[in-house]
Amino acid sequence: TAPPGYETQLTWLLRTVEDGFTPFVLLYGPRSTGKSHLLDALADQLTEDRTVLRLTGQELLLNAKHVLSFSVARAEAKCVFLVDDLETVLSPASDRTDDEAAALKQLWRFLLRLRREVGGCGVVAACTIAEDGVSDAEIGEASREGRFDAVVPLGRPDRQQRAKILAAVAPPGTSTRPLVDLSA
């Protein structure tokens, strides 16, 4: 299920991936806003009729050749790649090592090749952005033409979303300190 308060985003992502209108989507926002949970919910919904391949940005950086191992994507007409923690490959260009720069180039080439060769393949990437993390420039780089079709910001939960989150994780009748108001 979707993280509490993000049911609309999950419905949109499911429709987007299933319809194939926007197969390359980048989710981004501050830490702890439910991006990874949203990817998990998407994967759970799609596993019956699609192959779901999940990686982290760190896995891509540690082994740039890893992207070449996705030959299964060419064989599977309905395949979804979930790339979490993409900020590890969206670091500022001046901070990238040669290996990281090569991995990022290879990732973009792979995404472009995937778009050309595999119909119905969706890519959803989550990017954790702390205040000192990835800048708007790196998000812009990720959304340049030919990379991501949609860039979806996820903000911090509002008061109602926080109440839904607390209600979801705190069993009914949970005893809390007097200062904790689960309805707040």
Whole-angstrom distance, CA of residue 74 vs CA of residue 33 = 33
Q: What sign for the dihedral angle of Cα 104, 106, 109, 111? A: negative
Please check whether residue 143 is in contact with residue 26, taking contact to mean a CB–CB distance below 8 angstroms: yes
Question: What secondary structure letter does DSSP report for 147?
Answer: T
Query: Which CATH fold would you assign to the domain 7-156?
Result: Rossmann fold (3.40.50)
- For residue 128, report the phi and psi dihedrals to the nearest 5 degrees: -85, 125
Per-residue confidence (pLDDT) for residue 131, from 0 to 100: 41
Per-residue confidence (pLDDT) for residue 9, from 0 to 100: 85
Per-residue confidence (pLDDT) for residue 22, from 0 to 100: 58
pLDDT above 60: residue 76: no
Please check whether residue 129 is in contact with residue 33, taking contact to mean a CB–CB distance below 8 angstroms: no
Please check whether residue 9 is in contact with residue 34, taking contact to mean a CB–CB distance below 8 angstroms: no
Per-residue confidence (pLDDT) for residue 64, from 0 to 100: 55
Query: Alpha carbon of 62 to those of 14, 57, 85, 97, 178: distances in Å?
Result: 30, 9, 13, 12, 47
Compute the average pLDDT of residues 121-145.
58
**Burial class of residue 173 in the structure, from the number of CB atoms within 10 Å of its CB (0-12 exposed, 13-18 middle, 19+ buried):** exposed
Whole-angstrom distance, CA of residue 24 vs CA of residue 115 = 9
Per-residue confidence (pLDDT) for residue 132, from 0 to 100: 44
Where are the domains positioned within the chain?
Answer: 7-156
Alpha helices in the chain (DSSP H): 7-19, 35-46, 57-62, 71-75, 98-117, 136-142, 159-169
CA quadruple 98, 57, 46, 31: dihedral, nearest 10: -140
pLDDT tens for each residue of 12-68: 888 877 776 656 777 878 777 888 888 888 888 876 777 777 777 777 666 655 555
Please check whether residue 82 is in contact with residue 54, taking contact to mean a CB–CB distance below 8 angstroms: yes
pTM for the model stands at 0.69
